[in-house]
Chains A and B, each alone.
Chain A
Amino acid sequence: MRFIFKTKYDQDISVTRHGGDRFWYSLLIIGMLFMPLLIDDFYLGEISYICILAIAGIGLMILSGYTGLASLGHAAFLGIGAYTHAFLLTHGIPFILSIPIVIIVSFLVGAIIGIPILRLSGMYLAIATLALCFIAEHVFIRWEHFTGGNRGLAVPYEEIFGISLTNSAVFYYLCLFFLIISMFAAINILRSPTGRAFVAIRDSEIAAQSLGVNLGIYKALSFAISGAFTGLAGALLAHYIGYLAPDIFNIFLSLTLLLLIVVGGMGSLHGTIFGAIFVGFLPQLIAICRDYLPSSIGSQPGLEPMLFGMILVLFILYEPLGIYGRWIKIKLFFEMFPTYKKQTFKKQKVFNKTDRV
């Protein structure tokens, strides 16, 4: 077990906790930089996709994991990001300019949608965002001038500094770059007064309110920030997919994002990475499972949603803190070695917080 004696104010300000963290995270980033040399194009594409998922996951994690607001409609933000990006690119705006515009647009849309919707709480919010997801999908179908409707919209081939994005290594570096930037942004937002206010709202709205947090403004802000991250992920997703059709951004994608943060671990940014890796490799995992099952079951199309649901249910019931929570437990077990107590992580009985007044 490492005890940290803080002797300088800089230690409080720095992003990492101690030298060990700095060492391992630098090693991870260096390892990721050398990835294109080690693996082939297919897996590089998969990892780019995982990076995109992780960026979207960061967005949803800020909203659900840190502010405690459930959203079943985040596919809408992915869609907004993707379509705005594709629309701007087809109208001749360069990539470098398009990305900031996408982020601003999704931020504003998040704020505009957030202000009326966030007057609701708990279940009502989940239902409202669910409805939002369907309405957004419908808008993508009907607003043909902007989205191309059911015919779809081709994402133009784009170059940055003269290098084509179709090169998988270039695209991988681009996704990795945005993931690292997003991660730093998220870490710093969550350490700032804004982020502390989010966590306070999650833990007790009444307590937060008595400490002077304006619930309406901060909830809308959380929705907007979350939308901005997800919109960025959407823009990258547009390049990954190459051809946008409205039915990509359906309710299933929203639920996949929720699965990502639940499996990764609610309320931790590490969790988004773990969750993204899990969700990214889930189709391969299911393909492997199919091989081991008898062919009468293995070849069924219903297997995928069933496994999806089962994983969700098992995680909610048995490991609500997700993969990251399990990792913390394992780490603590070795740190404390013979004296580890299971009770450290025992779920406390909580009273059902009621929505009724």
Chain B
Amino acid sequence: MQLIQLIIDGVASGCIYGLVALGFVLIYKATETINFAQGDILMLGAFVAFSLIGVLGLNYIVGFALTVIIIAAFGFLLDATVIRQIIGQPPFATVMLTIGLGFIFRGFASIFWGTDIYSFSTPFSGKILQTSGLVISYVNLSIIIGTAILMIILFSFFTFTKIGVAMRASSENQLAAYYVGIPVKFIFSLIWSISAGVAAVAGVLLAPITLVDTSISLIGLKAFAAAVLGGFGSIPGAIVGGIIIGIVEQLCGTYENYIFEGVREISAYLVLILTLIIYPRGLFSDKAEVKKV
């Protein structure tokens, strides 16, 4: 029973990793750049939600929706003004650029919101669901259900809408997509905005657990493990990878004595390194074989 309890907790934190990883994957599939600032966008999302819900006192649902819209618009502008200039440069430049942007966001957040730790009330905080020995908090439940809903929305968006299909086309082959009349630049900015929006959702869902401060941007680094484990080009892979990382982390935390002390904090990175060494394709990669020497 304890094991099931741990797995449920792991799934909840894993969903957050999965959502952040999903942001990496969307951007990587389309533009072959990796956004090292994904965790910082998540942090911005949490702070904006705090301002709207905690300070301005908006309804949780309204505040949530507004946050996602604001951050998505921010992502769109970010690509249209900054990231686009770097396309065609070696990957090193994009890595450095997004790291630099991450620092700017973090610095901005600590100047604008200060270095205090904030929290805001949600409809889920403090409530517990108790069934046959299992204790599930509403917050964890909200994360799992929120992720599921988001996945369904994204899946239907990419399958049934014209613009979603255009996005898939431009990530398959930019040049061919351009020839059939897809506005590739606009699509790329849109992908950045979706990815930022997903990060904002993760940020708002996460806020009741970790509270809001600048250090939550570190989740972005752990989410790399999720993305790599899932195979960097796969959307379901990102979520599954995230859930696996979440469960591994929970288990390592509980059974720390049997492995070695402090394994929990680095378990995600260990999984990452092992995946890259043993099976760099990841679990769900479709055709995106990792180039080897």
Contacts from A to B (Cβ < 8 Å): 64, 68, 70, 72, 116-124, 126-128, 130-132, 134-135, 138, 141-142, 205, 215-216, 219, 255, 258, 262, 266, 297, 300-313, 316-317, 320, 349-357
Determine how close the nearest CB of chain B comes to the CB of A262; give it in whole angstroms.
6
Q: Is the CB of A124 within 8 A of B100?
A: no
Closest residue of chain B to A65 (Cβ to Cβ) is B92
Q: CB < 8 Å: which of A72, A116, A307, A316 contacts B277? A: A116
Contacts from B to A (Cβ < 8 Å): 28, 32, 34, 82, 85-93, 95-97, 99-111, 115, 214, 221, 224-225, 228, 232-233, 260-262, 265-266, 269-270, 272-273, 276-277, 280, 287-293
Q: CB < 8 Å: which of B96, B233, B260 contacts A316? A: B96
Could you list some 6 contacts between A and B, CB below 8 A? A68-B90, A123-B95, A255-B99, A303-B107, A306-B103, A313-B101
Q: Is the CB of B89 within 8 A of A302?
A: no
Q: Is the CB of B270 within 8 A of A135?
A: yes
A300/B89 contact (C-beta < 8 A), A70-B95, A355-B290 known = no
Q: Is the CB of B88 within 8 A of A351?
A: yes
Q: Is the CB of A127 within 8 A of B293?
A: no
Q: CB < 8 Å: which of A117, A307, A350 contacts B276? A: A117
Q: Is the CB of A134 within 8 A of B269?
A: yes
Looking at chain A's contact residues, is the secondary structure mostly helix, strand, loop, or mixed?
A: helix
Determine how close the nearest CB of chain B comes to the CB of A263; give it in whole angstroms.
10
Q: Is the CB of B261 within 8 A of A142?
A: yes
Q: How far is the CA of A14 from the CA of B290 in the complex (A)?
A: 42
Q: Give the tally of cross-chain contacts (CB within 8 A).
A: 170
Q: Is the CB of A121 within 8 A of B34?
A: no
Contacts of B225 in A (CB 8 A): 131
Contacts of A353 in B (CB 8 A): 90-91
Q: Is the CB of B272 within 8 A of A219?
A: no
Closest residue of chain A to B91 (Cβ to Cβ) is A122
Q: How far is the CA of A353 from the CA of B93 in the complex (A)?
A: 13
Q: CB < 8 Å: which of A68, A118, A313 contacts B97? A: A313
A307/B111 contact (C-beta < 8 A), A121-B293, A134-B221 known = no
A131/B100 contact (C-beta < 8 A), A124-B280, A301-B115, A309-B107 known = no
Contacts of B86 in A (CB 8 A): 316-317
Closest residue of chain A to B289 (Cβ to Cβ) is A357
Q: Is the CB of A316 within 8 A of B88?
A: no
A117/B277 contact (C-beta < 8 A), A303-B111, A349-B88, A353-B90 known = yes
Contacts of B260 in A (CB 8 A): 142
Contacts of A351 in B (CB 8 A): 88
Contacts of B265 in A (CB 8 A): 138
Contacts of B262 in A (CB 8 A): 138, 141-142
Closest residue of chain B to A209 (Cβ to Cβ) is B293
Closest residue of chain B to A64 (Cβ to Cβ) is B92
Closest residue of chain B to A308 (Cβ to Cβ) is B103
Q: Is the CB of B92 within 8 A of A68?
A: yes
Q: Is the CB of B273 within 8 A of A309?
A: no
Q: How far is the CA of A72 from the CA of B269 in the complex (A)?
A: 14
Determine how close the nearest CB of chain B comes to the CB of A143; give it in whole angstroms.
11
Contacts of A312 in B (CB 8 A): 96-97, 99-100, 103
Q: How far is the CA of A262 from the CA of B266 in the complex (A)?
A: 29
